[in-house]
C-alpha cells in the first residue's frame, strides 16, 4: 500500500494503535491539506513517506493497517465493526533459535553468509 492509494474515508491505524480517518485535500482557512484526523488530533500527509512510514524518529506513528468503511455511516465510528481491512504492514517476527528449530521441526546451525 502506498500513500497515493489512500482515499478520503479510509481509516488508518498507527503502530501505537491510534486510529485516524483519511481526509484528502481537507479545507481550512489556509487552503487545503491532506491529513489523518482523529478526535484527539491529526497528522499531516507530508510527514509520511510513500510507504506510509512516518518521517519522525518515533516509529509509533508508522501506519500499519489501512481499512475501508463498509458504508458511509461507519466512516467516523470508533469501533472495529463496519470496516474491511485492505492492507496490513508485514512485520518480521522475532524468534529465538529454539523457536526457529521448533517451527521447522529440526535443528538449525547459524552460519555466516557465504560470498558464493
Domain boundaries, position 45: 3-91
The tally of domains found in the chain comes to 1
Residue 107 within a domain? no
Tell me what pLDDT residue 116 has: 60
Residue 73: which pLDDT band, with cuts at 50, 70 and 90? confident
Alpha carbon 9 to chain centroid, angstroms: 15
pTM score: 0.79
Residue 56 within a domain? yes
Residue 97 within a domain? no
Min mean pLDDT across 17-26, 53-62, 72-81, 102-111 is at 72-81
Residue 116 within a domain? no
Residue 106 within a domain? no
Residue 110 within a domain? no
Residue 102 within a domain? no
Task: Summarize pLDDT for 105-115 with one digit per residue, the tens.
Answer: 999 998 887 66
Amino acid at each position: 500500500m502506498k500513500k497515493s492509494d489512500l482515499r478520503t474515508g479510509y481509516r488508518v491505524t498507527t503502530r501505537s494503535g491510534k486510529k485516524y480517518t483519511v481526509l484528502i485535500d481537507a479545507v481550512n482557512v489556509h487552503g487545503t491539506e491532506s491529513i489523518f484526523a482523529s478526535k484527539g488530533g491529526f497528522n499531516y500527509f507530508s510527514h509520511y513517506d510513500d510507504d506510509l512510514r512516518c518521517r519522525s524518529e518515533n516509529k509509533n506513528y508508522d501506519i500499519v493497517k489501512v481499512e475501508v468503511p463498509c458504508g458511509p455511516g461507519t466512516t467516523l465510528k470508533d469501533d472495529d465493526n463496519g470496516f474491511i481491512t485492505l492492507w496490513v504492514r508485514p512485520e518480521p517476527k522475532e524468534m529465538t533459535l529454539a523457536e526457529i528449530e521448533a517451527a521447522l521441526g529440526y535443528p538449525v546451525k547459524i552460519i555466516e553468509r557465504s560470498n558464493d
